[in-house]
Amino acid sequence: MKITPRVKRILDNYESDNPGTKANLARMLMQGRLAGTGKLVILPVDQGFEHGPARSFAVNPAAYDPHYHFQLAIDAGLSAYASVLGMIEAGAGTFAGQIPLILKVNSANSLSTNKDQAVHGSVKDALRLGCAAIGFTIYPGSEDQYGMFEEIRAMGEEAKANGLAVVIWSYPRGGKLPKSGELAIDVSAYAAHMAAMLGAHIIKVKLPSDHVEQEDAKKSYEGIDTSTQAKRVEHVVQSCFAGRRIVVFSGGAAKGADDVFQDARDIRDGGGNGSIIGRNTFQRSREDALAMLDKLVAIYKGAE
Amino acid sequence: MKITPRVKRILDNYESDNPGTKANLARMLMQGRLAGTGKLVILPVDQGFEHGPARSFAVNPAAYDPHYHFQLAIDAGLSAYASVLGMIEAGAGTFAGQIPLILKVNSANSLSTNKDQAVHGSVKDALRLGCAAIGFTIYPGSEDQYGMFEEIRAMGEEAKANGLAVVIWSYPRGGKLPKSGELAIDVSAYAAHMAAMLGAHIIKVKLPSDHVEQEDAKKSYEGIDTSTQAKRVEHVVQSCFAGRRIVVFSGGAAKGADDVFQDARDIRDGGGNGSIIGRNTFQRSREDALAMLDKLVAIYKGAE
Amino acid sequence: MKITPRVKRILDNYESDNPGTKANLARMLMQGRLAGTGKLVILPVDQGFEHGPARSFAVNPAAYDPHYHFQLAIDAGLSAYASVLGMIEAGAGTFAGQIPLILKVNSANSLSTNKDQAVHGSVKDALRLGCAAIGFTIYPGSEDQYGMFEEIRAMGEEAKANGLAVVIWSYPRGGKLPKSGELAIDVSAYAAHMAAMLGAHIIKVKLPSDHVEQEDAKKSYEGIDTSTQAKRVEHVVQSCFAGRRIVVFSGGAAKGADDVFQDARDIRDGGGNGSIIGRNTFQRSREDALAMLDKLVAIYKGAE
Amino acid sequence: MKITPRVKRILDNYESDNPGTKANLARMLMQGRLAGTGKLVILPVDQGFEHGPARSFAVNPAAYDPHYHFQLAIDAGLSAYASVLGMIEAGAGTFAGQIPLILKVNSANSLSTNKDQAVHGSVKDALRLGCAAIGFTIYPGSEDQYGMFEEIRAMGEEAKANGLAVVIWSYPRGGKLPKSGELAIDVSAYAAHMAAMLGAHIIKVKLPSDHVEQEDAKKSYEGIDTSTQAKRVEHVVQSCFAGRRIVVFSGGAAKGADDVFQDARDIRDGGGNGSIIGRNTFQRSREDALAMLDKLVAIYKGAE
Amino acid sequence: MKITPRVKRILDNYESDNPGTKANLARMLMQGRLAGTGKLVILPVDQGFEHGPARSFAVNPAAYDPHYHFQLAIDAGLSAYASVLGMIEAGAGTFAGQIPLILKVNSANSLSTNKDQAVHGSVKDALRLGCAAIGFTIYPGSEDQYGMFEEIRAMGEEAKANGLAVVIWSYPRGGKLPKSGELAIDVSAYAAHMAAMLGAHIIKVKLPSDHVEQEDAKKSYEGIDTSTQAKRVEHVVQSCFAGRRIVVFSGGAAKGADDVFQDARDIRDGGGNGSIIGRNTFQRSREDALAMLDKLVAIYKGAE
């Protein structure tokens, strides 16, 4: 498989990484129907851990089976599949070599009493399961944020030394931050920048609103156009080393297909690298999900 | 000993495990009178630690002696015997090779002031004592749940690397969860799913009630039939990777023999893999316990 | 030195231990005037740490000198001498090979503000000082009990791997437990059982009262005779794996010689393995202490 | 490149360091336009982490790109460039060998809820990225100060053993210290002295005011002239082992160019070794920044 | 250098130590003008860390320079010089081999908010800097006392294994202990005894008052003469294994020369091994300090 010039330019931005890590980034960028475009659509399935199995899968019972998701990601021609230890273990053998895997190594759950996550996977797990990357969530602003930063510091160092890529989910919450500020453009761009500073290869944030939360940041945003979603994506991408890092956005809660498509167009137009889209796929029937992902891929190819 | 096709199918679900771990799962599945059926009845004796020796054994003083339990499990043709460090050390030599052992590596006690358990055994202990698996309890919902998840993460990784199996006892409690919600069907299925996500080979939960505890889960349960115990077992099994993981249920507090038998029929009919049954055996006389276990085995064989 | 059949039977109970640990248990059981009887009298001197030097030694100033205690234990023909790092270091060379040593590796002090102990010795220390065992105190019931259990888990594993024996002092206190319950028969038997469960070779508890503290345990104690001290000792011994573990009892605060002797007769008659007796010896003159220990040994030999 | 006598004298003060560390100190002292003078101007860019990307770079958008800062430091002929993991990784390959790098291994952020920093870089990171030094911030006075001291103790030991230099940013704050005391001359000198005591090779503090904060220190300051900024710099330098350690001062918040130049003259006249100047450079246009740095260099050369 | 019989007797008390540690004890006992007498005068300079540089050195500005203290200790013929990492690093090369060094590995500071110390030096540091011993402070009674005991346990084990000596500064404070009790004779003797129990080779405490603080200890002190300072020293020495451990006393705050001399006579007459004297030397002019130390040495030689 020959790397395209666009992918080559992206890889060149990771100038301090070893060939192992670059090869794993390339595996994701050269996988599926978006191979070579510099765009990524990733299927994440950790919602069972975060919200419980029935809330995640009852609407589409086939999705209780871990194999379902591997197969969906492969058949839809996606770039990678991300899930947690047990779920990856349950399919990594059957689907070995068919799609790059991201081992999500920490999770929260809806019974929890604090703004933290439990680390339940390791770099060694990722290696023995043939994964291309580890995924880790940070909660900037949380009372536990520094602990989370120190966990990913250690795991990121180990991942990079072993030729894996590092994906950071950066979700501001907790501490002094009101619920209303979690999606604010200043907070989102800050969260994305922190993930970049922490050494992430791929940064995942939510699509931001045009609210500015921090008093001290208001003046700086006077000259920044955040009036459209595409402009806000552009600002987040700029905040990740002026585009030197891959930035993908989450689909959020299940919603109408048209909204999903519009989000993707905005991500594309703002220069984002793609989507991580879970509930909006596996909570539809396989047929509907494939149709939606087909269109999503087309959007990222610039065809819609 | 030749593996039956049914056991082979079960082992195939553990597709990311090394031959050592598969062999230890096979040892339990091919042991005793349920050998080859895919069903398990396991004798656990950690109640002395959890409730004190007199509350556990005064009713049947022969049970103060660790050898009693090894012998009971062997004579009843059970699948495995589970206990904690001191009790396993006291019999592992005498009964070496006669029954698979599960070293339960953490415990609570009735004097404790929090919802946590102390880790008092290790993978190295399990290996030197010839055990087939480690057993670990998590308390989903507890303030200490993430700490417990991180403990089993590390111990599970070490156990798997050394060819042992991992059994997780998943008992929701503490934090925001009221006592009334601990056995709720949504919470139980969630707890079982978390254990699966954490990489357990065998998951142990309590038999759930048909109450739905979490407000956010109520809508999802509208279309799920939880009216009978067998249906609830079925839902829990589905929540464990659509049946790709072994799920066993606990017998709970000592109760009438008929209730014990009905529970087993429900577990069997719902597709569960068996029972972990402690107090309901060793708190009866040896004779009564053997008779009860004889009938339990017959139920799992489909004969009653 | 030939092991007696009685000692052989005791050693056989430690069926999971390596020859190194068995040899160290044998060293204690074959030492001094009780050699071969299966009984032990151990001299512990950690009171200076626990209560201060003047409160411990002012009444018998010769006892300020660490050598005094080594010599006393040797001259009285005792089974072992237990103390903490500094005090063992101060005499281990001079008395090397003359009496088995137990390195007490944690301690509290009378200035402390919590129910915990500080770990101040290590397995490596015990090995370089030629000790036969480590000694460790747990406080079942304390808010810190799980931390203490996890400390002895790690140290016990290391001790056993290096051929040392493990002695656990089990003193219930703190948390939900009122002062009045610390010596209750149910709590004492539970504490002894926990020590056994944690893998202790030798368990040390205080002589229990006939009070039953835990509401949930009262029913179980209806059929247990705890009316005499010997009967209570018997119940504690039974709670330690039906006599498969060595159980010794502490002498408590300094008291009249007759009480000390009666305690010993009760321990003996209840099937206990002996006494750990500190303040009642070194807070008497050497002459008086030797006389008292002489009689104590005679009692355990069944002569008084 | 031949070391000047002035640099030789400075290096001789590091009499306990290995040749690797001395060589890295020399790299900084012999770099750029101040090479050989014993003076240093260092460009630090961690403000994105500390305050967010827009507050740091919106005023000069070219500065979103990590390469911008490497190039600015090189073109201005500065002594070293300091930044955090992600930002260094994004340029260390392109600019390898062109300017000494300081990996800042901990950071705070403006969302945080305590007076601490997260460690997000390691000595291993610094080595693989070709850095000359690690940078670490302590907050003397903070409730977390001892934890921070213990972190730099471990990292400093590892850095020195691997031939790296150690730069400590010492910023008093938190605990009993009022906001008004953070820049007090007694507190600043104390903070600098603590950094020296902790083994820093290069100490960075803020320019102090002439307020004396601590009641107990007032008498000692009666005989010390702190009336001018140059005198205060002199006292801080004296407090760092009578000038045996390199001391640099931070530029503080963005301000007028004349103030920046006057600060530099005071630092120079008080015997300080130079400036760490971030926001006052990259928050100006590249042209203005280069002009300002040109003049700064001239001041340290004694020409202005 | 031939060891004197008196020093030989002292070394013999360290019967469990390896030749490396004994040699380092001997280096201190055979150094300077008190060589061979069994007495020690040690210069400690950590006051800059504890109280700040101006409060420590402004009265004698030459003392800002680390070399000043090395030279003072050498010229006065003292037994050892103790200081913290940065200060030792700043002179260990120049004065290598001229005076035994004690690396003080933990410190408090006057900005701190708790009764603990930060560990800022290591055994590895002590070894690479050519030190004879590590020094460590414990605060018996503090809420953090057990943490401190566990730190010195680990560091002491490592120090001894590497042939270093261990000096423990034992300063009761915090927790239940009122300020008025910190110097009480019972508390001081207890603190000294704890240091001995923790395995210290050299114990440093403050000169005690004749107040008895602990209610439970009052009875024990009825028969102990604590009416004179010499008698109190004698009791502290007795509390350190009846004189089997070296005990030195601190000079406390700067005071009149006559008081310093009287203290030394009392220490000598009570059987103490000497003084650790800091502020009373370096806060005088070098001339005055040398004169005072000259007389101090004479007192310990028994000449005054």
The answer to whether C112 contacts E146, with C-beta atoms less than 8 Å apart, is: yes
pLDDT for E255 equals 78
Choose among A234, C184, A18, E222: nearest CA to D124.
A18
* E288 DSSP 8-state letter: H
Tell me how many helices (H) and strands (E) chain C has. Answer: 14, 10
Task: Match 């220990």 to its residue by tokens.
Answer: C293
CB-based touch B/D (3+ pairs, under 8 A): no
**Residue D26 in tokens:** 């020399």
Strand, helix or coil at C139?
Answer: coil
Strands B202-206 and B101-104: unpaired
Over range A8-31, report the average pLDDT.
Answer: 98
**Beta partners for residue A81, in sequence order:** A43, A101
Do B152 and B168 meet the contact criterion of CB atoms below 8 Å apart?
A: yes
pLDDT for A177 equals 96
Q: Taking 90 as the threshold, does the pLDDT of residue A303 lie above it? A: no
CA distance linking residue D119 with residue A151, whole number of Å = 9
pLDDT for A253 equals 67
CA distance C124 to chain B (A): 19
Whole-number mean pLDDT of chain C? 96
Cβ neighbours around C216 below 10 Å, total:
11
* Residue D130 amino acid letter: G
Burial class (CB within 10 angstroms; exposed 0-12, middle 13-18, buried 19+) of C264: buried
CA distance linking residue E101 with residue E104, whole number of Å = 9
- Name which of B59-68, C16-25, C275-284, D167-176 the model is least confident about: C275-284
CB-based touch E/A (3+ pairs, under 8 A): no
The answer to whether C197 contacts B93, with C-beta atoms less than 8 Å apart, is: no
Chain D: list its partners (3+ Cβ pairs within 8 Å).
A, E
* Residue A15 amino acid letter: E
D48 to chain A, any CB pair closer than 8 A? The answer is: yes
Over range E20-27, report the average pLDDT.
Answer: 98
CA distance linking residue A129 with residue C26, whole number of Å = 49
Query: Which ranges in chain B belong to alpha helices (H)?
Result: 5-12, 19-29, 47-51, 53-57, 66-75, 85-89, 123-128, 145-161, 185-197, 218-221, 229-239, 257-269, 279-282, 286-300
Judge whether E204 counts as a catalytic residue. Answer: yes
pLDDT tens, position by position, C155-197: 999 999 999 999 999 999 999 999 999 999 999 999 999 999 9
pLDDT for A256 equals 87
Q: Taking 70 as the threshold, does the pLDDT of residue D278 lie above it? A: yes
CA distance linking residue D210 with residue E111, whole number of Å = 19
Quote the radius of gyration of chain A (alpha carbons, Å): 18
C249 contacts: CB under 8 Å, gap ≥ 6 = C204, C205, C206, C207, C233, C263, C267, C272, C274, C275, C276
pLDDT for C303 equals 78
pLDDT for E1 equals 66
B220 to chain A, any CB pair closer than 8 A? The answer is: yes
**Catalytic entry in C204, C206, C219, C295:** C204
pLDDT for A304 equals 77
C48 to chain E, any CB pair closer than 8 A? The answer is: yes
* E51 DSSP 8-state letter: H
Burial class (CB within 10 angstroms; exposed 0-12, middle 13-18, buried 19+) of A5: exposed
* E91 DSSP 8-state letter: T
Q: Taking 70 as the threshold, does the pLDDT of residue A1 lie above it? A: no
**Residue D65 in tokens:** 């790109």
CA distance linking residue B83 with residue C249, whole number of Å = 27
Please report, to the nearest 10 degrees, the dihedral formed by the alpha carbons of residues E274, E279, E280, E286 taken in order: 110
Work out how many CB contacts closer than 8 A connect B with C.
129
pLDDT for D14 equals 98
| Angle of CA points A30, A189, D204, to nearest 5° | 110
CA distance linking residue D76 with residue D296, whole number of Å = 10
Whole-number mean pLDDT of chain B? 96
Query: Which ranges in chain D belong to alpha helices (H)?
Result: 5-12, 19-29, 47-51, 53-57, 66-75, 85-89, 123-128, 145-161, 185-197, 218-221, 229-239, 257-269, 279-282, 286-300
Strands C106-107 and C118-119: antiparallel
pLDDT for E79 equals 98
Do A10 and A27 meet the contact criterion of CB atoms below 8 Å apart?
A: no
pLDDT-based confidence at A267, cuts 50/70/90?
very high
CA distance A238 to chain D (A): 7
CA separation (Å) from D83 to D45, D47, D136? 5, 9, 11
CA distance linking residue B209 with residue B191, whole number of Å = 14
Percent of the residues in chain C that have a pLDDT greater than 70, as a whole number: 98
Burial class (CB within 10 angstroms; exposed 0-12, middle 13-18, buried 19+) of A225: exposed
Work out how many CB contacts closer than 8 A connect A with B.
130
By Cβ distance, the residue of E90, E94, E129 closest to D241 is: E90
**Cα dihedral sign for A143, A144, A150, A153?**
negative
The answer to whether B94 contacts C223, with C-beta atoms less than 8 Å apart, is: no
Q: Which residue of C has its CA nearest to B107?
A: C146
Choose among D185, A48, E170: nearest CA to C86.
E170
The answer to whether C64 contacts E200, with C-beta atoms less than 8 Å apart, is: no
pLDDT tens, position by position, E261-296: 999 999 999 999 999 998 889 999 999 999 999 999
C58 to chain E, any CB pair closer than 8 A? The answer is: yes
pLDDT for B256 equals 87
pLDDT-based confidence at D252, cuts 50/70/90?
low
Which positions in chain B touch A90 (Cβ < 8 Å)? 13, 15-16, 241, 244-245
The answer to whether C198 contacts B86, with C-beta atoms less than 8 Å apart, is: yes
Whole-number mean pLDDT of chain D? 96
pLDDT-based confidence at C253, cuts 50/70/90?
low
Do E152 and E201 meet the contact criterion of CB atoms below 8 Å apart?
A: no
Do E33 and E77 meet the contact criterion of CB atoms below 8 Å apart?
A: yes
Cβ neighbours around A110 below 10 Å, total:
16
Q: Taking 90 as the threshold, does the pLDDT of residue E252 lie above it? A: no
Do D128 and D141 meet the contact criterion of CB atoms below 8 Å apart?
A: no
**Beta partners for residue E165, in sequence order:** E133
pLDDT for B253 equals 67
Q: Taking 70 as the threshold, does the pLDDT of residue B252 lie above it? A: no
The answer to whether D107 contacts A15, with C-beta atoms less than 8 Å apart, is: no
pLDDT-based confidence at B303, cuts 50/70/90?
confident
Which positions in chain B touch A55 (Cβ < 8 Å)? 216-217, 220
Choose among B99, B81, B148, B155: nearest CA to B124.
B155
pLDDT for B268 equals 97
Do C300 and C271 meet the contact criterion of CB atoms below 8 Å apart?
A: no
pLDDT-based confidence at B291, cuts 50/70/90?
very high
Q: Taking 70 as the threshold, does the pLDDT of residue A165 lie above it? A: yes
CA separation (Å) from B81 to B14, B49, B102, C214? 22, 16, 6, 29
**Beta partners for residue D41, in sequence order:** D275
The answer to whether B113 contacts C15, with C-beta atoms less than 8 Å apart, is: no
Strand, helix or coil at E23?
Answer: helix
By Cβ distance, the residue of B172, B175, B199 closest to A86 is: B199
End-to-end CA distance of chain B: 27
CA distance linking residue C172 with residue C211, whole number of Å = 14
By Cβ distance, the residue of D49, D90, D93 closest to A241 is: D90
> Which residues 236-265 on chain C approach chain B with CB closer than 8 angstroms?
238-239, 241-242, 244-245
End-to-end CA distance of chain D: 27
Work out how many CB contacts closer than 8 A connect A with D.
130
Query: Which ranges in chain A belong to alpha helices (H)?
Result: 5-12, 19-29, 47-51, 53-57, 66-75, 85-89, 123-128, 145-161, 185-197, 218-221, 229-239, 257-269, 279-282, 286-300
Which positions in chain E touch C110 (Cβ < 8 Å)? 190, 214, 216
Q: Which residue of D has its CA nearest to A217?
A: D55
pLDDT for B141 equals 96
The answer to whether B197 contacts A111, with C-beta atoms less than 8 Å apart, is: no
Q: Taking 70 as the threshold, does the pLDDT of residue A250 lie above it? A: yes
**Residue C227 in tokens:** 């009316």
Q: Taking 70 as the threshold, does the pLDDT of residue D1 lie above it? A: no
Strand, helix or coil at B261?
Answer: helix
ipTM above 0.90, yes or no: yes
Of residues C80 and C257, more confidence is placed in C80
What is the reported pTM?
Answer: 0.96
Catalytic residues of A: 204
pLDDT for D255 equals 78
